[in-house]
Structure 1
């Protein structure tokens, strides 16, 4: 299957292939993060063993030291596995459990006037999810924790209520964003969009992955250089202001992609905003997706040789070659 990651031409089949690799990708990301956190402990255990081997002075180490050196690595790997499970459980909560909770609150007599709401604890956990998937900012989490319970429930209830008249209007969503960012500490447009996405499948979350893919044009096998873009840092991370103007760009990109992919799709099986969000993560972390990349076959190589250099991206015009899986 040809993998074309260009948002303007990606097929529904390719999109679904990438979506199917989401859990594998997240699992690998979580494991990599957990291993990095335990790196110092692993290094410590390695140093003990190295010292024992190089000096030969086993007697200088107590029996307890030797035992710890022997089992520390295995204990760290157990901890890594536990952290991966926690990461995946948090993902399941964000994409499935929390939206279900919000939906169940709709139409009831609970606080939130029948439109659903988030509690302070849910907002904190949602922020923790966001930080685990992006750049960790402990000060942001601290500010979110300063919000009062009633302030969180009232603000989210009001914002969710305004989404009932969404009808594809970015203006309505921007109003809902303001309803959240004004009273809530630590909640900017990006976090506010995440909150709104728990109440509506038609509201995209402003994630770095989505913005890089749909707005900046960063994706695998794309020959044009993005290093000169002011929106991409030298390390490949997004350099953005996370403001409403940027969110409008992201909104238009997501809705345009969904409109094209959902043309003729059976009702109930349409591509949602969370689908786009998850595929964008796989696109950005494609090397961790588990999707094997095969070398172009002989016929494909011959076709490439026949291409005009300008058409194959040789002149740096941004054209990309497709890869097969």
Structure 2
């Protein structure tokens, strides 16, 4: 388990290495394959489109499916993104990637697309530049800022800066961490605690009954 204040790279490495198992532990249909697409397939696809990298509507739709499956499902967002015009998505993402490392400008190029808010925009940018832009997950925001209800650009910039600084702090020991590594480590810790809590509620020693469910912040 790692908390945001921790500065031991070993603890963070351990939390980060547990990410794949935590993805599996959620037991959500297609999440393992969606996560593989987002982390391993999409980044090289984006980078091979030189000299102006971009994302396609189908890729953005699959990214949205990953985001909603890993977090909270919102079908309307998926429908909005899936119906976006291909040329608009291509142009907006080209401009966004060209704006980096200016995260504020990059996010602002993507959010005019229907269904794409700062959180989804952050997922697009994190796929292209994980060393600059972390994904704005509820779990990581709660850990870093103590709040996961504000999805504004201002909040994302505060969040991104904290994760960039933490990545730099952890990397000073020799091992390299990106802001996206920090996000995944925080997410893994939060999900690990959530899964552990669910298992303990169902433990026969506790009568085999689940306790009152805690509402998840969105």
Partners of 2:45 and 2:52 lie apart in 1 by: 12
1:194 and 1:204 in contact (8 A); partners too: yes
Shift of 1:125: 0.5
Is the aligned partner of 1:151 residue 2:80?
Answer: no
- Show the 5 A alignment for 1:145-294: 145-163=82-100, 166=101, 172-182=102-112, 184-201=113-130, 202-216=132-146, 231=147, 238=148, 240-265=149-174, 269-287=175-193, 288=195
- Show the 5 A alignment for 1:299-314: none
Is the aligned partner of 1:90 residue 2:30?
Answer: no
2:107 and 2:118 in contact (8 A); partners too: yes
Shift of 1:274: 2.1
Shift of 1:6: 3.1
Moved over 6 A (4+): none
Residues 1:10 and 1:283: Cα distance change in structure 2 (over 3 Å): farther
Partners of 1:283 and 1:207 lie apart in 2 by: 13
- Show the 5 A alignment for 1:33-72: 33=28
1:22 and 1:278 in contact (8 A); partners too: yes
Structure 1: runs of 5 or more not aligned = 34-82, 107-113, 167-171, 217-230, 232-237, 290-325
Structure 2: runs of 5 or more not aligned = 197-218
1:105 and 1:117 in contact (8 A); partners too: yes
- Show the 5 A alignment for 1:118-157: 118-157=55-94
Shift of 1:145: 2.1
Partners of 1:210 and 1:143 lie apart in 2 by: 25
1:146 and 1:185 in contact (8 A); partners too: no
Shift of 1:273: 2.2
- Compare CA radii of gyration and give the structure with the larger one: 1
1:101 to 45, 62, 86: 45
- Show the 5 A alignment for 1:108-119: 114-119=51-56
Shift of 1:247: 0.5
**Which residue of 1 is the match for residue 215 of structure 2?**
none
Partners of 2:183 and 2:165 lie apart in 1 by: 14
RMSD over equivalenced CA pairs, Å: 1.5
- The Cα offsets for residues 33-57 of structure 1, whole Å up to 9 and x where unpaired, read as 4xxxxxxxxxxxxxxxxxxxxxxxx
2:129 alignment partner, SS class: coil
1:103 and 1:116 in contact (8 A); partners too: yes
Partners of 1:210 and 1:278 lie apart in 2 by: 8
Partners of 2:110 and 2:65 lie apart in 1 by: 18
1:15 and 1:279 in contact (8 A); partners too: yes
